[in-house]
């Protein structure tokens, strides 16, 4: 089957096409006005290496958006492949997301989930209008990763797994990135 081009904008087809791009799964956390917040998202990107900036986005209809906008720090918790339950728990909009969740307190007040593949502790840098989302740009101040943990991956509307292969020396950064 070949590539099918759409002439009229079809939101459902657009979402399906976006699903062709596999992403990692994160739970971004913060504390604002003494309330712990957490949200599963795949809209996480590295924006800059110097300074170290990342970005994520939150739907403008999210009830908690005003609290996120006032947070003094964030943690981007990159989930490991065995953390689908945590992803599902934080993907829902209910008040007891934190029930049974083990975490540590980060330097900037954001909860750090345990057992993740990587975590980035950040402070706010800027916020921008992004259509139906607000874009949060944050400066990474601390980070850690567990290279022995495989990341949780999401593609085509479901969780996916990376194939275990014999690893060779990383080629990153590729010349095409600079």
Query: Residue 122 belongs to a domain with what CATH number?
Result: 2.30.110.10
**Does residue 15 fall inside a structural domain?**
no
Residue 76 pLDDT grade (very low, low, confident, very high; cuts 50, 70, 90): very high
- Tally of domains in the chain: 1
Tell whether 37 is covered by a domain.
yes
Instruction: Provide the pLDDT for residue 91.
Output: 94
For residue 34, the Cα-to-chain-centroid distance in whole angstroms is 22
pTM to 2 decimal places = 0.86
Mean pLDDT of the chain: 90
40-57: pLDDT as tens digits: 998 899 999 999 999 999
Convert the pLDDT of each residue in 7-26 to its tens digit: 678 888 888 888 888 889 99
**Contacts made by residues 101-105, CB under 8 angstroms, sequence distance 24+:** 101/38, 103/29
Please provide the size of the chain in residues: 178
Domain assignment present for 170: no
**Residue at 136 is within a domain:** yes
């Amino acid at each position: 089957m070949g590539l099918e081009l759409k002439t009229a904008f079809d939101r459902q087809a657009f979402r399906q096409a976006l699903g062709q791009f596999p992403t990692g799964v994160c739970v971004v956390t913060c504390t604002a006005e003494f309330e712990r917040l957490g949200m599963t998202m795949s809209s996480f990107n590295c924006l800059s290496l110097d300074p170290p900036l990342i970005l994520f986005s939150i739907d403008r209809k999210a009830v908690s958006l005003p609290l996120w906008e006032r947070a003094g720090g964030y943690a981007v918790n990159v989930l490991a492949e065995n953390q689908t339950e945590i992803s599902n728990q934080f993907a829902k909009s209910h008040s007891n997301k934190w029930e049974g969740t083990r975490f540590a307190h980060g330097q900037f007040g954001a909860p750090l989930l345990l057992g993740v593949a990587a975590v980035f502790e950040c402070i706010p840098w800027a916020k921008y209008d992004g259509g139906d989302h607000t874009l949060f740009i944050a400066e990474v101040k601390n980070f850690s990763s567990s290279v022995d943990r495989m990341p949780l991956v999401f593609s085509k509307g479901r969780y996916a797994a990376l194939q275990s292969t014999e690893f060779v020396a990383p080629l990153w950064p590729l010349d095409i990135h600079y």
